[in-house]
Copies of this chain bind each other. A is one copy, B any other.
Amino acid sequence: MTDRKEFRDLAPPEAAHEAIASLALTPSPESVSLDEARGRVLAERIDAAIDVPGFDRASVDGYAVRGRDTFGADESDPRVLDLVGTVHAGTEPDVTVEPGTCAEISTGAVLPPGADAVVMVERTDDLGGEIEIRTAVAPGDRVMFAGADIAAGSRALGPGTRLTPREIGLLSALGVDQVPVRGRPRVGIVSTGDELVRPGEDLNSARGEIYDVNSNTVAAGVTEAGGEPVLYPHAGDDYDEMERLLRQAADECDLVLSSGSTSASAVDVIYRVIEERGDLLLHGVAVKPGKPMLVGRLDSAGSQSAYVGLPGYPVSALTIFRTFVAPAIRRAAGLPEPRTATVTGEFAVRERYSEGRMRLMPVGLVESDPAADDLLVYPVDKGSGATTSLVEADGVVEVPADTEYIAAGDSVEVRLFSPDVRAPRLLGVGEDDPLLSRLLDRVDAPRYLPVGSREGLRRLRDGVPDVAVVAGESSRDVDSEELGAWTREWGLVVSGDEVDGLDALVDADVRFVNRDRNAGLRATFDAALDDLADARGVSRGALADRIDGYELTVKAHESPARAVLEGRADAGLGLRTTAAALGLDFVPLGHERVAVHGAPGRTEKPAVRELAAALSAADVDLPGYDAA
């Protein structure tokens, strides 16, 4: 830990943008087949090599004629021409239209020699061998001449054109089936850290292993930015292995990203490899998060590859990737900045800063008035280590280093994490509940933050969420409309028969796991303890002191039961339905009411109505659950 890098001289964010812009990461152009060209960017101008159409083409079904033969014809004074043959689309004409004659012709067929116009079938009558023509046509009528659509030699599409279906159409018309496009930058992703395990593999939590979040997340971001991600096998914290991997990635890619571990030893190894086997242009950026960012070049067998080291925490890694790296990948790929990547909204709360460096603040969005497209923006700060803030935030607000605070009501610009990101249609907060989880499945694009009943009510009062879900606890202080409710049976989830009620929990020598103070279920449990304390003539505190684990609290409704299941506890505060789902025994202690409260002014929001409809239609088939 002695040679640990402190990154004391942090570079300003502009310097990081410039350092990355100075790296060469534009790949060579390539040729792709037409059916894989959508979304790619033309590497060079395409001029038409052929006339389109390549021949004088009938625009309607009808009869090919000499225009002069029809002059003066109308409904009352038709002309009659001899029918000399037929020309179908896709066949070479085997007739010549001499004066006084005509040939049947299909839309798209070649105008036969001699003819200079087409009469549409609706203005003719077949007299059998002769055709009555009831309208006059001028030479050129109903004919598209060769090259009239696109002439050979003319400019069809310019370099840098992004290929959407319509450009694919023009290339098809020109017969181009191999399209010269800009290459996609190949971006190698090397993840580091002895503790990381690839998703799908077995995890040994006792060893402190965690799943590697950054590799697939950053890879998806690379694809979205128009690059081609290449995942390399995990490197541990070993110098030689890391050096070999980074050099291989530099050989094979235009840009190498390292990411993964948050531990100083892994970061140190990377740092040493870049210093010894490349150029370090910049280390440490005055951005929160992003202090440990590295920018440089990596030597490879042939030339050099660009290199950026991302922070280890997933939210930090994705934020730094989107802010500094994705724009460079898009530039290299020839893609424009996505138009919908920013939205503007009103800040919901007051936030203070005293950082001295630019902050990329993760924020969530909620539509406060969908009709007016009004967005509320609220900060999501769960600490950099929390992966849930990946999905609880929708983007970042760039807060300059000299900003002291953002006031509630201030207008802020949010850079979305992906162009695809939308504000959730419903923002709910409050109690963690299995029935609620199922009801949310019936709402399109909801977001639910299981912060507990007490914290949920607080947030409802502050005007951010659309609904708060409250168990037990009263909500009389908060202006809201009840959208629906149910009851759930609660008690002790146990293994064995040592605990058969609240008395035994207090009196027996058992290990207990409690819920946190924000949980409505915890308040209900404490109220039951109050009753027992009254009956025994002692204080609740006196009873609590006798419960081993009363202060051992967890935040999710299943967690106490899982502690029992894994033998880490004998009893846990929980629900009958959880005991049933995990195959554990259950000691019932009561029923509590769970209600969904709608925020004033939001109850007509479509997704809130969807949730209310789901509530009223709810087929409550969970053990211990009833309609309220």
Does A224 have its Cβ within 8 Å of any Cβ on chain B? yes
The answer to whether B171 and A199 have CB atoms under 8 Å apart is: yes
* Residue pair B34, A158 in contact (C-beta under 8 Å): no
A106 in complex: contacting residue of B144, B199, B265, B432, CB < 8 Å: B265
Determine chain A's interface SS by DSSP, over half rule.
loop
Contact, CB under 8 Å: B195 / A90:
yes
* Interface status of A206 (Cβ within 8 A of chain B): yes
Whether A177 pairs with B198 at a CB distance below 8 angstroms is yes
The answer to whether A160 has its CB under 8 Å from any CB of chain B is yes
Interface of chain A residues 279 through 318 with chain B (CB within 8 A): 312, 314, 318
A445 proximity list for chain B (CB < 8 A): 158, 160-161
A149 touches B385 (CB 8 A): yes
Name the residue in A156, A197, A562 with the highest tally of chain B Cβ atoms < 10 Å from its Cβ: A562
A175 touches B200 (CB 8 A): yes
What are the residues of chain B within 8 A of A237 when measuring CB–CB? Answer: 88
A106 touches B263 (CB 8 A): yes
- Find out whether the CB atom of A38 lies under 8 angstroms from the CB atom of B224: yes
Tell me the bound Cα distance from A204 to B93 in angstroms: 13
Q: Which residues in chain A, 532-574, are within 8 Å of chain B measured between CB atoms?
A: 554-559, 562
Let me know if A409 is at the binding interface, CB within 8 A: no
Contact of A147 among B160, B176, B555 (CB under 8 A): B555
A169 & B390 in contact (Cβ 8 Å cutoff)? yes
Please report the C-alpha to C-alpha distance between residue A334 and residue B312 in the assembled complex, in whole angstroms: 33
The answer to whether B172 and A231 have CB atoms under 8 Å apart is no
Please determine whether A50 and B387 come into contact, CB atoms closer than 8 angstroms.
no
Q: Is A473 an interface residue (CB 8 A)?
A: no
| A420 interface residue (CB < 8 Å to B) | yes
Instruction: Given the known inter-chain contacts A170-B391, A203-B175, please indicate yes or no for A158 contacting B440, CB distance below 8 A.
Output: yes
Q: Which B residues lie within 8 Å of A153 (CB)?
A: 556-559, 562, 578
The answer to whether the Cβ of A588 comes within 8 Å of any Cβ in the partner chain is no
Give the complex CA separation of A195 and B393 in angstroms: 54
Residue A239 interfacial (CB < 8 Å): no
Given A151-B554, A168-B220 in contact, is the A88-B231 Cβ separation under 8 Å? no
**Which B residues are in CB contact (< 8 Å) with A336?**
422
The residue on B at minimum CB distance from A418 is: B164
Contact A1 B391 (CB under 8 A): no
CB–CB B391/A167 < 8 A: yes
Number of this chain's copies in the complex: 2
Q: Which residues of B contact A110 (CB under 8 A)?
A: 205-208
Closest Cβ neighbor of A217 among chain B residues: B169
**Residue A159 at the B interface, CB < 8 A?**
yes
- Report the stretch among A51-59, A454-462, A619-627 that lies at the interface: A51-59
CB-CB under 8 A from A92, the residues of chain B are 204, 206-208
Q: Is the CB–CB distance between B165 and A221 below 8 Å? A: yes
Shortest distance in angstroms between A556's beta carbon and chain B's nearest beta carbon? 3
A82 within 8 A of B: no
Are A224 and B91 CB-contacts (below 8 A) given A106-B264, A216-B172, A556-B152? Answer: no
Chain B residue at minimum C-beta to C-beta distance from A197: B175
Residues of A at the B interface (CB closer than 8 Å) are: 1, 4, 34-35, 37-39, 45, 47, 50-55, 57, 59, 61, 87-92, 104, 106-110, 121, 144-178, 193-201, 203-221, 223-224, 231, 236-237, 261-266, 312, 314, 318, 336, 339-340, 382-383, 385-388, 390-391, 393, 417-418, 420-422, 432, 437, 440-441, 443-446, 448, 450, 554-559, 562, 578
Show 17 residue pairs from A and B whose CB-CB distance is below 8 angstroms, ordered by the A residue: A35-B216, A92-B204, A106-B265, A149-B382, A149-B387, A151-B554, A153-B559, A158-B443, A158-B445, A165-B224, A165-B318, A165-B417, A166-B217, A169-B214, A171-B216, A172-B212, A176-B199
